[in-house]
Amino acid sequence: MTYSATARVTGPVPPPPPGRQRARGRWLLTTGLLTVLLAGTSLVAVEPLRRPLPEPTVTRTLPASTVIPGTAPTIPWPQRGQAALTVDGLGSLGTSGGSDPVPIASVAKVMTAYVILTEHPLDRGEPGPRLTVSAAQAAAYPRELARGESLVPVVAGAVFTERQALQAVLLPSANNMARILAAWDAGSVEAFVDKMNDTAAALGMADTHYTDPAGLDPGTVSTAVDQVILARKAMELPAFAEIVAQRTATLPVAGTVMNYNSLVGKDGIVGIKTGSTDEAGGCLVFAAVVTVGGRKLTIVGAVLGQPGANTPVQLDRVFRATRPLVRTAAKAIGEHAVVRAGDQVATVRGPLGAGTTINATEDLTVLGWPGMPVRLDLDLPAVPARLPAGAGHGRLTAAAGDGAAVTTALRTGEGLEPPSTWDRIRHHR
């Protein structure tokens, strides 16, 4: 019997052998476990990457203020009377003698000149408007002279420019011209005195009261501190600063007159005004210009109430008390580096322990004296996640006392990089 090669068997298929069944089951179980494990691992790895990274944090390591190192200057204050000493644009070097208002004699004429120049401003060298001496003002001259007042000779009809009148008031300290100017400006001496007191109040001179434009009346009182306030304002007026620095001037009728302030031109002194009476003693408000680090600074001070039997003695003593003050102040002012290039001002801490520093790029040098407080202001923008090494980032500003601020740029130390994906996963585990 013969069979065809294409014949099919249509009966039931026999099952595989038992060994093959067990192998297939193990394979299915292993595959399922691996799938579950891989899914879990993927979830574990992805979860920390979904969380946002915290922003870098900055910690300031430089204090907000410091002081210029060294021993503070010892000021040779006068043994009698009041005194105050300041450096314009830097601050006060102190005061002595209390703060009770005292007579100030012809120092009052600083306010007289200040009011005139604010009401009738003059440029340097400008003569200004003219004023004519009246018959009554000229007739008063002999009586004023008999009282021993400080005067310039005048005659009826004499014409003074505003500048010449101010020169008469500020150099030879002419009481009569102070009254003539007051009446010319305000219509009467009394109305002008009101202006003087209003101006004092506006300037914050709380312990000052004027009763006359010349200072002859002992009821005109002030303090050394208040007179420094006024002197600083007056020296901002170009014509005032120009006049008080003159040693002589030529006036109508009087001819050449001398400046009573014999310190002008010594120790850098450029003014301002003397005063002396029996009640006030010797008084001087002064200004001196010094150059430190290529910058011009003005020392302003006042010495009141120096004793003496007469004007020459009183002025000699106030001059002798003033010169050590000016010299000490000039010597005390210097350049001081309060931050050095490379000094660390802040640290930066990034996520997962990354970090860097913020450092000054240049020295910060201020003008001042030992013991003077210095502000250190840090301007630091928000720190990004990535910041290269040596990158500019922020500024640091220093200012000593009331002085001008100096600034340096800041830069990073090491580079700051955000953590890698692997670091984030590993840190999470």
Q: Kindly compute the dihedral angle of the four CA atoms of residues 223, 281, 319, 74, in this order, to the nearest 10 degrees.
A: -50
10: which residues sit within 8 A by CB, 6+ positions away?
none
The tokens describing 284, both together, are 């001087």
134 is annotated as an active-site residue: no
Among the listed residues 99, 124, 407, 374, the one whose alpha carbon sits nearest the alpha carbon of residue 225: 99
- Catalytic residue from among 96, 173, 222, 276: 173
Among the listed residues 80, 166, 88, the one whose alpha carbon sits nearest the alpha carbon of residue 131: 166
Inter-CA distances, 57 with 54, 87, 259, 339, 410, Å? 9, 41, 65, 23, 17
Q: How many CB atoms lie within 10 A of CB 415?
A: 13
Among the listed residues 170, 40, 34, the one whose alpha carbon sits nearest the alpha carbon of residue 113: 170
233 is annotated as an active-site residue: no
42 is annotated as an active-site residue: no
Instruction: State which H helix or E strand residue 33 sits in.
Output: helix 18-50
Please say whether the beta carbons of 127 and 164 come within 8 A: yes
- Catalytic residue from among 96, 109, 150, 276: 109
CA distance 215 to 182: 13
SS3 379: strand
Q: Is 296 annotated as a binding residue?
A: no
- Catalytic residue from among 106, 150, 222, 276: 106
Please say whether the beta carbons of 272 and 234 come within 8 A: yes
Beta-strand relationship, 392-400 and 373-379? antiparallel
CA distance 211 to 217: 7
Q: How many CB atoms lie within 10 A of CB 428?
A: 13
Instruction: State which H helix or E strand residue 255 sits in.
Output: strand 255-258
Annotated binding residues: 273
Annotated binding residues for substrate: 273
**What is the set of active-site residues?**
106, 109, 173
